[in-house]
């Protein structure tokens, strides 16, 4: 039995499809998690990532259905994420509504609305073209996973460095980090705390909307209301797992994506495992990772704390 277990692990680790699926899942999570990392560094806990991803996936499908352009579909996905972000940002950091309640309500609203509109409109979509980068795509096991994907995948290679530069190499990023650590001190310095927090949520909405569009054009090829499947919450967990650092967040995306890929690979290779256990595996790994690492890292000082001028 033990030898059979290790044989299965070797088969999975040596299968190219394991790495391809893992890269796809990690990319999807990273689109959302990179924006969520920015939002949390500003002190906001953006629970509506799930809704932003689903909204972006739906509007990208509508954009393609109207124009038959994948590129326009990607921009439409960003717009969809921004619409959800706008509601979250305005209600949480202008009207001072509870950000958790707003986020959960938006997730439920977008799920119901997207399902209804999808049945009414039935948008047609397709997968984007595949780009193989010469030489790099021929690397054993990981070549196709990292350099032989459909072209929306490569947007992530620019997005992650840009996100790091934006937060650590611009004045805006410095102000954003300051409102996440000490909003009262930032306010005394003349920084509009809630404005920066709203802007951080807009950024999370844009990247999550792009992630939803990637899911449609780079991974699935169609839209349905169950397309996100709770992975927005895994993206939030990746930020916490990564200790609110960008490299840790991306590492968390890779680890959690590995669990998702394992689930597919073990079925594809013909091994019989309890289907309910496989379905829950990514979430079990997420919970285990949170329990193991969350208490060892330091969150931004004002994370999830609403700001009211003059109150400490």
Does residue 270 form part of some domain?
yes
Query: What is the Cα–Cα distance from 154 to 114, expressed in whole angstroms?
Result: 27
In a domain, 240, yes or no: yes
pTM for this model (two decimals): 0.92
Element (H, E) at 172: helix 171-181
pLDDT of residue 107: 96
Collapse the DSSP code of 263 into the 3-class scheme (helix H, G, I; strand E, B; otherwise coil) and give the result: helix
Look at residue 233 in the predicted model and tell me its pLDDT: 92
In a domain, 152, yes or no: yes
d(CA 132, CA 160): 21
Count the domains in the chain.
1
**Is residue 49 in a domain?**
yes
Q: What is the pLDDT of residues 81-96, one digit of tens each?
A: 999 999 999 999 988 8
Residue scoring higher pLDDT (272 or 161): 161
Contact of 147 with 136, CB cutoff 8 Å: yes
d(C-alpha 202, C-alpha 176), whole Å:
13
Q: What is the mean pLDDT of the chain?
A: 89
- Taking residue 296's Cβ as centre, other Cβ atoms within 10 Å add up to 7
32: domain CATH number is 1.10.3470
Average pLDDT of span 293-303: 77
Cβ atoms 65, 191 nearer than 8 A = no
- Specify if 2 maps to a domain: no
Mean pLDDT of 260-288: 69
Secondary structure class of 47 (helix, strand, coil): coil
At residue 262 the predicted structure's pLDDT band, cuts being 50, 70 and 90, is confident
Predicted pLDDT of residue 16: 85
Helix (H) / strand (E) element for 105: namely helix 99-121
Dihedral angle, C-alpha 38, 42, 45, 46, nearest 10 °: -50
- Say how many C-beta atoms besides its own lie within 10 A of residue 218's C-beta: 26
**Where in the sequence is the domain holding 99, given as residue range(s)?**
9-296
pLDDT tens-digit readout, 196-237: 999 999 999 999 999 999 999 999 999 999 999 889 999 998
Does 4 reside within a domain?
A: no
Determine, yes or no, domain membership for 120. yes
**Rounded Cα distance, 165 and 158, in Å:** 11
Task: Specify whether the CB–CB gap between 207 and 27 falls below 8 A.
Answer: no
């Amino acid at each position: 039995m033990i030898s059979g277990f290790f044989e299965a692990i070797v088969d999975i680790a040596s299968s190219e499809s394991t790495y391809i699926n893992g890269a796809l899942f990690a990319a999807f999570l990273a689109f959302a998690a990179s924006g969520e990392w920015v939002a949390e560094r500003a002190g906001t806990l953006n629970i509506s990532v799930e809704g932003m991803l689903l909204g972006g996936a739906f509007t990208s499908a509508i954009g393609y259905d109207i124009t038959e352009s994948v590129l326009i579909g990607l921009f439409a996905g960003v717009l969809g994420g921004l619409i959800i972000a706008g509601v979250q940002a305005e209600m949480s950091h202008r009207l001072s509504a509870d950000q958790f309640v707003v986020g959960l309500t938006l997730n439920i609203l977008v799920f119901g609305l997207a399902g209804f509109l999808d049945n009414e409109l039935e948008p047609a979509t397709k997968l984007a073209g595949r780009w193989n980068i010469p030489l790099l795509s021929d690397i054993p096991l990981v070549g196709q996973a990292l350099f032989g994907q459909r072209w929306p995948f490569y947007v992530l290679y620019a997005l992650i460095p840009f996100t790091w530069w934006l937060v650590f190499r611009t004045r805006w990023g410095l102000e954003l980090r300051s409102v996440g650590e000490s909003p009262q001190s930032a306010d005394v310095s003349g920084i509009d705390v809630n404005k920066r927090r709203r802007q951080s949520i807009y950024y999370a909405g844009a990247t999550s909307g792009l992630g939803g569009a990637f899911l449609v054009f780079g991974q699935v090829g169609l839209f349905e209301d169950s397309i996100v499947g709770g992975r927005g919450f895994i993206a939030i967990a990746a930020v916490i797992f990564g200790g609110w650092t960008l490299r840790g967040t991306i590492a968390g995306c890779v680890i959690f994506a590995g669990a998702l890929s394992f689930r597919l690979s073990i079925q594809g290779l013909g091994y019989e495992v309890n289907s309910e256990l496989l379905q829950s595996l990514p979430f079990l790994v997420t919970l285990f990772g949170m329990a193991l690492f969350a208490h060892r890292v330091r969150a931004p000082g004002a994370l999830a704390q609403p700001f009211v001028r003059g109150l400490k």
